[in-house]
């Protein structure tokens, strides 16, 4: 692996664009089958948003789940996926995703560097009784930072370190750090791959309508078997955000700054690719920080969300993408700059949810992102929302908390709602707003990456406008239109599906191009 300006190779079997979970899975698969692989990464770091992630992978019926005694099957997973996604995406893609999951896990675990464990986290929908209260997710076993040696400096740091400059120890790598670290080690052990950072894809090279290579700066690299676009989405591109998401600027994404600017999408379109789902993203509520970054926030154990009218608009315990869609609905009515507030009382020292890093109250107050007051009316004045509405909202919610039933949004009625619930009343997801001061922290609509991109077939091959495959071109991860359509079916769908289609793409390239 190198970050030096030495020339790229003239020719390899496979060029992989990007270095997140999808890219490195595709690279490893091809390299393990004996193909020569070049990974090109735009930034000085390897890992993309995948390195920030929790690395949960939704892959029903796999061996890791079976070893741990989780009662699951591919068939159940498929029923669940079909019930949540519907016919918004092709049935053969949904089948390919779910049916390939166990094979992918078994293949990856053959590498001594890769090992998974169960990651308990509930599914996001009640779907035909097939949801699992503890989910069907897995994640990599933590990895000692020292195992990466000098490569550690090239691994994109955690969000807290990368976007907030915090000193996060790297003795033990967990989540996305372990995922990328393990894939890198496995890739290197094949002896068939080169990873080049600070090497952005410029454009694709075509010969007689087939993609035969890439241009990086003034260099051209031929790809005998094909090119895999796995360069994330366009969530960091202000123009596409405005056009496709109706959001001003690039605000606000949890992706690595400047990294995913839709380069893969542009490259695919330039050779005639069909695209889909450009209006979508993996949405989430995000806490807006004084430095302008917004941090993925989940796992509320207390508090309520209110919109600009001082009223609740959703079950605050909803899975994050479902909450994000509700926020979009409110924004459609009130405009893209709609202020959302997370209101909680003083029973916790910080926000009662998972936000990494945790907000610093003093800094937030100075930036106008955190307000506190003795009464709902005073808080409403500070927030600029109607005082009588906020008072009525708080009183009504406290009544629900005392009675144990959220008559407006049914919070606390399913497994996901109760997973993070911490209240001691009749409904643990309903914590009354009654202790000490009330607080309001600014929430915005964030995302974990965009979700639209090149349309692909079940082999991950990019499709042209007429539905025919474009020779030599494959896409996976957030560079491809997601198999999940308009929903986020379960924890680990982005990475799980991205890695499956990268694996399928690399397998397809291997089968048409035997190594010399
Ligand atoms: C805090 C957090 C937690 C999350 N947890 C989970 C989870 O547990 N499970 C899950 O499934 N999802 C999770 N997600 C979402 C998930 O991380 C992303 O959707 C996923 O990582 C996207 O993977 P990718 O491989 O498509 O792109 P990325 O991982 O973003 O990688 C894309 C890479 O391509 C590079 N690139 C861009 N343009 C070019 C170019 N022109 N040339 C070369 N390289 C280029 C980028 O620099 C980047 O390194 C989480 C996200 C966040 C922020």
Q: What are phi and psi of 354, to 5 degrees?
A: -100, 115
Residue 491 CA: which ligand 1 atom is closest? 9
- Ligand 1, from 118, 183, 449: best to mutate by most atoms within 8 Å of Cβ? 449
Largest distance between two CA atoms of the chain: 75
Q: How far is the CA of 294 from the centre of ligand 1 (A)?
A: 16
Give the closest residue to 342 by CA, choosing from 242, 248, 424, 446.
Answer: 446
Q: How far apart are CA 457 and CA 429, in angstroms?
A: 42
- Ligand 1, from 231, 283, 286, 287: best to mutate by most atoms within 8 Å of Cβ? 231
- Ligand 1, from 50, 263, 506: best to mutate by most atoms within 8 Å of Cβ? 50
Instruction: Output the residue whose Cα is nearest ligand 1's atom 21.
Output: 50
Q: How far is the CA of 23 from the centre of ligand 1 (A)?
A: 9
Note whether 327 and 285 are within 8 A (CB): yes
Note whether 483 and 94 are within 8 A (CB): yes
Q: How far apart are CA 255 and CA 50, in angstroms?
A: 9
Give the binding-site residues of ligand 1, using a 6 Å CB cut-off: 17-23, 40-43, 48-50, 52-56, 159, 200-201, 230-232, 254-255, 259-260, 263, 282, 296, 448-449, 477-478, 492-496, 498
Note whether 41 and 20 are within 8 A (CB): no
Q: What angle do CA 380, 386, 391 make, to 5 degrees?
A: 65
- Ligand 1, from 494, 496, 500: best to mutate by most atoms within 8 Å of Cβ? 494
Beta strand 172-173 with 203-207 is unpaired
Residue 45 CA: which ligand 1 atom is closest? 49
Q: How far is the CA of 437 from the centre of ligand 1 (A)?
A: 39
pLDDT tens series, the chain, 516 aa = 555 568 999 999 999 999 999 999 999 999 999 999 999 999 999 999 999 999 999 999 999 999 999 999 999 999 999 999 999 999 999 999 999 999 999 999 999 999 999 999 999 998 888 888 888 999 999 999 999 999 999 999 999 999 999 999 999 999 999 999 999 999 999 999 999 999 999 999 999 999 999 999 999 999 999 999 999 999 999 999 999 999 987 678 889 888 999 999 999 999 999 999 999 999 999 999 999 999 999 999 999 999 999 999 999 999 999 999 999 999 999 988 899 999 999 998 889 999 989 999 999 999 999 999 999 999 999 999 999 999 999 999 999 999 999 999 999 999 899 999 988 999 999 999 999 999 999 999 999 999 999 999 999 999 999 999 999 999 999 999 999 999 999 999 999 999 999 999 999 999 877 665
Q: How far is the CA of 255 from the centre of ligand 1 (A)?
A: 7
Residue 356 CA: which ligand 1 atom is closest? 1
Q: How far apart are CA 14 and CA 227, in angstroms?
A: 6
Q: How far is the CA of 405 from the centre of ligand 1 (A)?
A: 38
Note whether 446 and 296 are within 8 A (CB): yes
Q: What angle do CA 266, 269, 273 make, to 5 degrees?
A: 145
Instruction: Output the residue whose Cα is nearest ligand 1's atom 2.
Output: 53
Q: How far apart are CA 105 and CA 85, in angstroms?
A: 23
């Amino acid at each position: 692996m190198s970050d030096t300006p030495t020339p790229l190779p003239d020719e390899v079997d496979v060029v992989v664009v990007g270095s997140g979970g999808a890219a490195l899975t595709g690279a490893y698969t091809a390299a393990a089958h004996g193909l020569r692989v070049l990974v090109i990464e735009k930034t000085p770091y390897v890992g993309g948003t995948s390195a920030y992630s929790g690395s949960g992978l939704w892959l029903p019926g796999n061996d890791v789940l079976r070893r741990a005694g989780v009662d699951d099957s591919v068939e159940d997973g498929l029923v669940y996926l079909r019930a949540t996604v519907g016919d918004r995406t092709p049935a053969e893609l949904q089948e390919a995703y779910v049916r390939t999951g166990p094979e992918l896990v078994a293949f990856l675990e053959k590498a001594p560097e890769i090992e998974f464990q169960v990651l308990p986290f509930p599914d996001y929908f009640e779907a035909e009784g097939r949801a699992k209260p503890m989910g069907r997710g897995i994640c990599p076993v933590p990895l000692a930072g020292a195992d990466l040696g000098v490569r550690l400096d090239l691994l994109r740091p955690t969000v807290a370190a990368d976007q907030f400059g915090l000193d996060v120890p790297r003795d033990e790598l967990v989540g996305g750090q372990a995922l990328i670290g393990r894939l890198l080690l496995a890739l290197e052990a094949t002896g068939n791959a080169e990873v080049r950072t600070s090497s952005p894809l410029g454009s694709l090279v075509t010969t007689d309508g087939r993609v035969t290579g890439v241009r990086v700066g003034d260099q051209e690299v031929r790809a005998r078997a094909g090119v895999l676009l796995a360069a994330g989405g366009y969530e960091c591109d202000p123009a596409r955000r405005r056009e496709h998401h109706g959001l001003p600027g690039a605000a606000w994404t949890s992706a690595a700054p400047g990294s995913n600017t839709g380069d893969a999408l542009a490259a695919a379109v330039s050779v005639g690719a069909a695209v889909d789902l450009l209006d979508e993203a993996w949405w989430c509520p995000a806490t807006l920080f004084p430095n302008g970054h917004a941090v993925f926030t989940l796992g509320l154990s207390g508090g309520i969300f209110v919109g600009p009218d001082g009223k609740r608009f959703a079950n605050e315990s909803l899975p994050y993408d479902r909450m994000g869609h509700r926020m979009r609905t409110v924004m459609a009515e009130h405009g893209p700059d709609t202020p959302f507030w997370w209101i909680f009382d003083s029973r916790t020292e910080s926000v009662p949810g998972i936000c990494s890093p945790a907000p610093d109250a003093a800094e937030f107050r100075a930036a106008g992102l955190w307000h506190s007051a003795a009464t709902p009316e005073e808080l409403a004045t500070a927030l600029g929302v109607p005082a009588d509405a906020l008072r009525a909202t708080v009183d009504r919610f406290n009544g629900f908390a005392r009675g144990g039933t959220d008559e407006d949004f049914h919070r606390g009625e399913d497994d996901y709602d109760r997973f993070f619930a911490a209240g001691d009343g009749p409904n643990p997801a309903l914590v009354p707003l009654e202790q000490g001061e009330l607080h309001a922290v600014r929430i915005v609509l964030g995302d974990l990456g965009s979700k639209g991109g090149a349309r692909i077939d079940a082999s991950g091959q990019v499709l042209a406008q007429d539905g025919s495959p474009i020779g030599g071109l494959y896409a996976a991860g957030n560079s491809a239109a997601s198999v999940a359509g308009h929903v986020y079916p379960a924890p680990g769908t982005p990475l799980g599906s991205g890695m499956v289609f990268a694996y399928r793409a690399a397998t397809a390239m291997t089968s048409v191009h035997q190594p010399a």
